[in-house]
Structure formats: structure tokens, C-alpha cells
Structure 1
Amino acid sequence: MPAKAPEVSYLNGKAINREKIDDFLDYIARNNQGIGSVSISRNGVQEYHKDFGQQQLKGITYDKDTQYQIGSISKMITAVMLMQLVENGKLKLEEKLSKYYPEIPNAQKITLHQMLNHTSGLGDYVGEEEDNWLFGKAAVGDKAIIAEIKKQGVSFEPGKKTKYSNSAYFLLSRILERLNNKPYNILLKENITDKAGMKHTFSVLDQPKNVFKSYKFNGKNWEEVRDFNFRNCIGLGDIVSTTEDMNTFMNALFSGSFIKKETLDMMISNKEEKVFGTGIMKVPFYNITAYGHGGDTAGSHSILSYEPVDKLSFAITINGENMRHNDLYVGVLNLLYGRDYQYPSFDTEKPETDLKKYEGEYETKEIPIPLTVFSKDGSLFAQGKGQPEFPLKKMEKNKYQFEQAGIIILFLPESKQMELTQNGKTFLLTKK
């Protein structure tokens, strides 16, 4: 039997170039393009940390322990706690939802595993941002949320498609509480934060005080953004943390502090065509594949990932967005891995025109996640449900690319279709 080829280190043992990343983030701050925090660790040791842009805010106080809203990264933490119950024999992934919520449509067919990997067919009770009913000052309560989940029903039979579902994770979080007979914040403390020494990570139920608000730039100043009432998304989007604590979580997860290696391997999606695993997503960057989760609220954006070969954990959260958050992520990653990277020019960028003809949701049976194309500030973007948006750069007429992931898209507006090419494979997607 031939020997297994050694895995390639992407950093080749080199130190992180702190000066280059510092310079880029200072450039972003000077140009009023972003506010946030970055932390990078290797082998469980933090090698880089920087808070940037906070000086642009007037009349606010912050310190190194100030937390950020991390949105749906909360789902990955909830999934880990559910897998702890699986290991302890208190929960089985193939159990049906009907055991806990028989009143939910299709509950007798939907497994907990399908809820974890977004193949349940359940909807998204949170809704779209412009008509979101969860912004109120008072929490609406579980009864109202479950009523909305029932009202939305299912969009496909379980296991047939992949569609990101906040509703599934709301129900999973309540199941977690029911089986432990404890509220979510206590479970988070006992099973995650105390075990890993995460002193600055809390659920909204803990009523954390030292938390950054979210901001947007109005052309002259940064102004506060109205964000969710996080009591309406406990266990799927309510956790606050620091980037350093986020990396502590990933290092503890991949070193076996929370669950066994076999369990973690099962949670990770290793199939080429799949993005979602069991609570953990693929986070690709060129030929590098890391694992983790993204998180977005109405005003804050985060990404947390772990690359197993270099044992590199990367956490970034942005609570003041002017430059698109995904572009900022990509800029830092390019500098981290020593790739050529040209800083964006904020003075000379001109918006493109006639992008509406490309907009819409495209799908094909060959790809499990529909792809939504939209324009913003004169630029074109694409996004799979539950994944970070990514920019599309024009190559020629009707042809765009996202170079970092090797994606080329040829739009066919007359037939309302697109050809998506990646890794030598071409798929034909049709607009819904």
C-alpha cells in the first residue's frame, strides 16, 4: 500500500506578517471603511490580534474585553452541544422532530440530523431584513415563533435539497434546553465557555453589558444601526464574544476538549459538492479549505474558521461596515497567506450599470443550494443561503468571476439562465 502523501502546510512555517495586516487595517480605518477586530492563532497560540477603526466612533468606550455580536456562529456552538448529548446517549441524530414538536409540518419525517445540516425543508422564521418582525423592543416569545414556523410549513421533502433554516436551529436549541432541563445560557457556560476558558462569551440571557453596538457610515459620520432583539434568536444568533475567545473555541473543538475526534469528523462536510456539514461549514479560500461558520446580524458580520493542516484559526468580526465585509475578509486572508494583493481604491471606484438583468435566484438539481445574485452600490454579488456573499468581478460582457474560489459565471439573460464553472465543471442554473 503506497504511503500517504504528506499534507502541505500553506504557511510553510513562516511567521505571520503582522506589519502588512496592520497596514491594511489601518488603511481601512483611515478611509472610514470598517470597524472591527481580527485574531489569528496557530497551534492554540494567538499570533496576531488587532482592533481597528474604533477611534472613528465618538463618545463610546471599549476595551480589549468588549464583545461583538457573532450571529449565526452561535449555531455551530449549539450543534457542538447537541453532539455532546449524542455522545452521552441522550440524543440520536435519526430521531424524528415529531418526538419533540409533533405539531410542526412534516415533523414525522424530519430527522434531527437533517435539521442540523439544513436539509429539513423547514423555513426561516427570521424573514428578510426589510420586513423582519424580530426587531421589536420586547421578545415575542417561543409561542409566537413556533406559530410562525408552523405557518411557513416546508418547502421540500427532507433530504431532497439544502436550504439554510433558522427555524430548524430555533427548534434544535429548544430541544437542547428541554433534554438538559436548563436554559441556554447555563448550558453554554457549563459545556463550552467554562471548559475552554472563554471568559468573554455570553448568551443574551446573561444580559452582557460590555457589548459593541453596530454602525454604518452615512458619508460623514458613523451612525448606530438598529439590530435584532437577540432574545428572539437564542441558540442560533444571540451569542456575543471576542475574536480571541472565538479562536479559543475553535482550538478547543479541534483538540478534543468538547467532543471526540470521530464526532467532529462526522460534523465536517468532506464531500466535494457539500458546503454544510452537521453544524459546521466549509470555508474555502483558493486551494485552502478551512471549517467553521459565518455570522451576520442587521449590523455586525463575522467569520470564524479553522484550517487543520496548519492548525490555524482565523476570527474576524466587523461592527462597522462601509467596505463590504466579505471583501475585507478576503483582503486579510490574502495578506495572511502571502498572496499578491492590491488595496482597493475608494476614490476611483465607479459603479457599473445595467446589473438588474442578472439579479435573481438561480438553481439546478446538480447543486444543493440556490444561488442568489444581486447588485449593491453598483457592483454585482452572489450568495448561497447561509453563506457569506461574494463579489463578482466583470471579465467581459455577461461574464463575471470570483477568482478566490475559481468561479466563473456566464449570464444568459435572454433565457434567464447562467453557466457556472468551477473546478473544471460547468453547471446550468435557471432563474426561479
Structure 2
Amino acid sequence: MIKRALINKCARLPRALLSLIVITVQLLNTLPGASCLFAQDLSSLRVNNKNALTSEAIKQLDGVLDFIFTNHLAVGSVAIQQNGQILYERTLTPDVSGNGKIPEKEPDKENPSFVYTTGSVSKMFTAVMIMQLIEEGKLSLDTKLSKYFSGLPSADSISIEMLLRHRSGLPDYTIDKIESLNQDSLFATVHYDYGRLHTNLGWLLDPIKNPEDSILHMLSHSQVHFRPNASSEYNNSGYWLLAAIIEKCTGSSFDSNLKRRITDRLGLIHTLTAGRLEKMKHNTPLKIRESYYYCGGWQKSADIYLPSVQGAGDILSTPEDLLAFMQGLYHGKLVSAKTLALMDDFHYPDSSHLGQFGLGLESALWPDNDLAAGHSGDTYFNHGGVFYFPKTGYAICCLLNGLSPQFERNDMLDILYHATQNKTLELPFVDKWHPAIREVTPLLGTYYCDRLKMTISLLNDGNTVIVYPKGQDALCTYWTAPDQINQPKYDLNIHFMRDKSAFQLTQHGKTYNFVKQVATKKNQEA
């Protein structure tokens, strides 16, 4: 497994919105990362060209992805590249028909112009453009935020470098207020009152005029989390501000800079901002992959309004384009070798210790001290990551537009990495108890908690138990014993008391008693 010391559960957009829908949220949460064992900058490592993806590794990888598909663990696209050559790519599309057919192993030929939401992977593009402006003498790492946004807290003390390294201490406009809305919720990690969320942060969910006014207002009226450069905390506000600084510094839009400085230079025809795609949607073959979550089947769902997270998570792309971006970055097509050495220097300020963040890059350490740099990212339903290994020239990428609660983006990245090592691949662990229908049927039905004034219905779907709180979205849980279902990711456990026709729901140390309701005609109508 990837060591989880550096890339933590903050590389995402806010974990919110979806009531009880199981999601891995955060704009942009969580590649496990490197554990501070870097001995040198990644850009200085020598490429070993001898590694190659063997036919046996490809066969095993196909088998694992077949397993992932048939067990409804993930949908999306993956790719592996070495020294600029694509060695493997595959797309898994959601089987909404229920016929269990495994999709073709090749990329989607009928719709070759689909693009994915990349989440925080966008931050690398923002950082590259900032570093290009520094090379051009239009900015410096010491340029203060106050030059462009004097009204923000501690703006005189926050530098461009601090924004890039997540050391500004600024509040996070995509997370802070959302988290504060959820304190009184029963399902504290997964349930958000949509009405309250929409009232407070509608600009994050739907298009409105001048979202920047709302963002700046929130930032200017919030307290800093810590003194600038005193600590490190993942922060989407910093990258939204960096995108705005790019615009102010160049007099051109963020999208125009992206096109001129990166995508045109590298020939990335499937990489663009969500804002640009929105403007030309009737005049382009490009389309965004729809988002899904798994709950008794793949369910479509809307995601975040991406133009509201410009610079932090609004870029659309494909695995092939992201791999080409990493190849271009590490081979002098975007910035100089000197600049790249600054970007993938993960040392803490004035310290020999290594941390998670470079200048727009995240560190990651796989087994055998195999160092990598790149970025991961998540929105409400999209999860991705791309990482480059300078020692071998390998790069891996996954962009997933749907996940089961039992599977994470990091699991997919681990699978891709181990394939590059030509090692035996293990099937993902699926922790399910396989119940007999006669054992679980008496436990299904509708339950009521007088303390919470809440009604919950339970429906069995194979190994999945779908929990339906009245007036909210569904939550997928799994049988782990004859009398128990849970969702470990969210610390949610339901223990049935058969003799009392009741269950106890426990989450975050709090327990609530639910009693089964008699299926009267009145209850059925309610």
C-alpha cells in the first residue's frame, strides 16, 4: 500500500451535500502519500528504461479490473505510461442495464471525446502557470497576496510560495462553512441538509453571477486558521486566489492562460476548464463523463459546479492527457529544470524534514522507497490521481466517475503501481458477509426512533443493505454478521436485536434505538 503520512484526507472538495449517499468527498480527499523519506529532489533521479509492463502483468490487471467491475467497486478510466508511451489503458462504464456485461478493454471508441472532472489534480496546472510567470519575472515566490488582494486577512504576510505550499493559514472557502453546517446532524460525516447548504453556499452548487464576490466576502470575514507559514493545511482558497492572480498578472482569463501556456504547447486536446466547455457546449464534441454513486446499482448524480473552484479543481481531462502533462513537466516542456527542482522539493521551510506539499505537487512513497510526485483530487463523485516515478519513467493515472463505498481511488492507484512492478496482483478485499435470505428477511422493514423523530427503512440488495431515512437520500451498508450491518468508512454500525424487533444505530460514539414498525395500511401510506 501507499504510505499514508503525507497525502491526507484534504485533497478534495468539501465532503458534503449528499445527505446519506456514500461518497468520498472533499474538493478536491486523499491520496495516501509519502512518508518523508525523500533523499533528493525527484527531478534529479535517473530514469531506468529497463522496466516494461509484461503480458502477464497486463493479463492480471485485466482480471483485477474485471473483478472491480463485476463487484460494482468503481467506474472510470485508467492508464499506465512509461517514457511517454502508453502501455495500458482501459475504461469501465457503469452497467445501468443490469446485464452484467463487462465493457470492452479498449478506451471508449464510440465516444472518444469524453472528459473527466479531475478535482484537485487541477492544482498542478495552476502551479505550473504561476511558476512560468515567475520565470518571466512577472511574479516571485515572495510576492505578497496584498499586492492583488489587500483586504484579505494577513495578506501582507502571505506569499505566493505559501499559497502554493498550503501554508497561508487562510480559511478554506470550499470546506469551512460546509463543515459548520453539519454539526447537528445524526450522520455527521455523510449527511448534510441540502436546503441549509444551498442557502449558505449555493454558488458552490449552481451557477450564479459573480461567485468571486461571495468567495472574497467569506475569506475577508473569516479568521485565519494559523499564522502564515507556521503550519501546513490543505487549502483550496489559496489555489482559487492563485488563479485570480494569474488573470490579474496577465490581463487574460485563467482558461486562456491554460490553453496558451500548457494545452496548446503539449497538444492536450482533451484538457480544458469546465467554464470553457460550458461556453462552447453546443459547438464541441467534448462531453463530461456523468457522475455516479453506487447504492443498489449505479445511480446518476449531479456534481459540484466546477467554475466556482477555478484553479483549485475546475479542469477537465483524460488519463492520456494527464500522463502527457506529467511527461511534459518532467522533460522541460513547461518549466526549466531549476524551476521543476523547486516544485518537487518537499522540505519544510528551514528544515531537513520532508512534507507532503511541494509547489503545486504532492509527494507519494510506494513500497521499496519508490518516490513519486503528482496530485490527487476529488469532487463529490469524481475521484482521480496521476503520479510520475522518475526512477523508472512510469506514470499512472486513474479518473473515476463513480465509486462503491468499499473502494477508494487510492486502491486503484495501488493496483496500477503494482502492475508496473510486474508483481502478482491481489483482488481488492471486499468485506462482505454473504447472508441467507431467510436469515435477513425478518430484519428488513421500517424502523422508528422516538428520540430523533426519524423513520428509517431497510431494503436488502444481495450483500448490500440500502438504508432509507425518510426525506433523505439512501445510504449503502453491508452485512458483516447475521445481526449486523455497517459502513466502516463513516463509523456507522447497526446491530439488530431480533428478540425485540429493534436495532441500535451507533455512529461517532453515539447510540440511538430504533423500533420496528408494524406494517399497517396507515404506515404504508405514510
* Equivalent in 404, 422, 432 of residue 338 of structure 1: 422
8 A Cα contact 1:139 1:232, kept in partner: no
Q: What is the letter of the counterpart of residue 103 of structure 1?
A: G
Alignment of 1:32-111 (within 5 A): 32-56=72-96, 63-111=111-159
- What CA deviation, in whole Å up to 9, does each residue of 1:76-110 have, x standing for no partner? 10000010000000111101111111100000111
Q: Does 1:247 align with 2:328?
A: no
Structure 2 residue aligned with 1:281, among 345, 359, 362? 362
**Preserved CA contact (<8 Å) 2:386 2:396:** yes
- The correspondence for 1:225, drawn from 301, 305, 320, is 301
Seen in structure 2, the aligned counterparts of structure 1 residues 44 and 11 have a Cα distance that, compared at 3 Å, is: closer
Structure 2 residue aligned with 1:172: 242
**What is the CA–CA distance in structure 2 between the aligned matches of 1:210 and 1:264, rounded to whole Å?**
32
Trace 1:100-139 onto structure 2 (pairs within 5 A): 100-127=148-175, 128=178, 130=192, 131=197, 133=201, 134-138=204-208
Deviation for aligned residue 1:11? 8.3
Query: Which of 8, 11, 30 is equivalent to 2:70?
Result: 30
SS in 2 for 1:75: helix
Unaligned runs of 5+ in 2: 1-43, 99-107, 180-191, 348-352, 435-476, 479-485, 492-508, 510-526
Greater RCO, CA 8 A, separation 6+? 2
Summarize the Cα distance change of 1:122–1:22 in structure 2 as closer, same or farther, 3 Å threshold.
Answer: same
Corresponding position of 2:23: none
SS across alignment from 1:74: helix
| 1:140 Cα deviation after fit | 5.3
- Two-structure CA RMSD over aligned residues (Å): 2.8
- Secondary structure of 2:112's counterpart equals coil
- The CA distance in 2 between the partners of 1:9 and 1:95, in whole Å, is 35
- 1:262 pairs with 304, 329, 338, which one? 338
For the pair shown, the structure with the greater C-alpha radius of gyration is: 2
Match of 2:395, as an amino acid?
Answer: S
C-alpha contact 2:94 2:298 (8 A) present in aligned 1: no
Task: Give the TM-score normalised by the residue count of structure 1.
Answer: 0.76
CA distance in 2, matches of 1:196, 1:338: 30
Secondary structure of 1:124's counterpart equals: coil
Q: CA deviation at 1:349?
A: 5.5
Query: How many pairs were matched up?
Result: 353
| Partner Cα separation in structure 2 for residue 70 and residue 202 of structure 1 | 11
CA distance in 2, matches of 1:277, 1:57: 44
Tell me, what secondary structure is at the counterpart of 1:266?
helix
Match of 1:420 in 2: none
**1:173-188, aligned counterparts within 5 Å?**
173-188=243-258
Offset from partner CA, 1:37-66 (integer Å, 9 cap, x none):
0111111111111112344478xx962331
- From 4, 9, 14, give the equivalent of 2:52: 14
> Counterpart of 2:373?
291
Question: Could you tell me how far 1:12 is from its partner in structure 2?
Answer: 4.8
> Take 1:160 and 1:57, find their aligned partners in 2: how far apart are those partners?
53
Q: Residues 139, 165 of structure 1: CA spacing in aligned structure 2 closer, same or farther, 3 A cutoff?
A: farther
Give the AA of the match of 2:376.
Answer: G
**Matched-pair contact (CA < 8 Å) for 2:45–2:390:** no
Q: State the match for 1:372 in structure 2.
A: none
1:285/1:136 CA distance change after superposition, 3 Å: same
Distance 1:229 1:27 in 2: 32
Residue 300 of structure 2 aligns to a residue in which SS?
strand
Q: Which runs of 5+ in 1 are unaligned?
A: 1-5, 351-374, 383-412, 414-432
Contact residue 171 and residue 235 of structure 2 kept, 8 A? yes
Match of residue 199 from structure 1: 269
What is the deviation of 1:380? Answer: 5.6
